[in-house]
Amino acid sequence: MKNLEIKTRSVEKTLEPLVIQVTTLVNTKGPSKKKKGRSKRAHVLVAAVEAATANFIERGEEIAYENPDIRGEMLGAVEEVRKTGDTMSRAAREFAEDPCSSVKRGNMVRAARNLLSAVTRLLILADMVDVHRLLKSLQVVSKIF
């Protein structure tokens, strides 16, 4: 799953806000002119990532219950997003409290990558459901004409 490619435009566009939030959280450009220590902005970004993760979980569960064919696989992907999201949240909060710690930064970056992989898998499954629905609709239309 580590070398998973994003193969559809819809998955890529859906992931874009989460990638931007995580990238903003982990990137720093040179020394800050502000006081070192606790960053209020980091806490806001952590909350945004948590909200986005919760949204992915909610939508994934909806898709799972609406599509019995893929329910097990989808719920597995949802659980992985939940688990990696919790890990990301903890790691990001720890880093926000001690932004000078390279160990905490490394932990957060690894957690962010794991979360992105889990969300990517969830979105690919959701995309597969959409493709399946479109194919079913196409079959219905082709029978009519």
State pLDDT tens for residues 58-106.
999 999 999 999 999 999 999 999 999 999 999 999 999 998 999 999 9
Overall domain count for the chain: 1
Name the amino acid, one letter, at 20: I
- Percent over 70 (pLDDT), the chain: 73
Report yes or no on 33 lying in a domain: no
pLDDT band at residue 23, thresholds of 50, 70 and 90?
Answer: low
> What is the reported pLDDT for 141?
87
Report yes or no on 32 lying in a domain: no
Report yes or no on 28 lying in a domain: no
Report yes or no on 75 lying in a domain: yes
CATH of the domain at 101: 1.20.120.230
> What is the reported pLDDT for 1?
36
Say yes or no to pLDDT of 125 above 60: yes
Say yes or no to pLDDT of 5 above 60: no
- Residue 65 and residue 87: Cα distance in Å, rounded? 25
Report yes or no on 31 lying in a domain: no
> What is the reported pLDDT for 3?
38
Tokens found for residue 18: 């989460």
Report yes or no on 2 lying in a domain: no
pLDDT band at residue 133, thresholds of 50, 70 and 90?
Answer: confident
- Residue 64 and residue 70: Cα distance in Å, rounded? 7
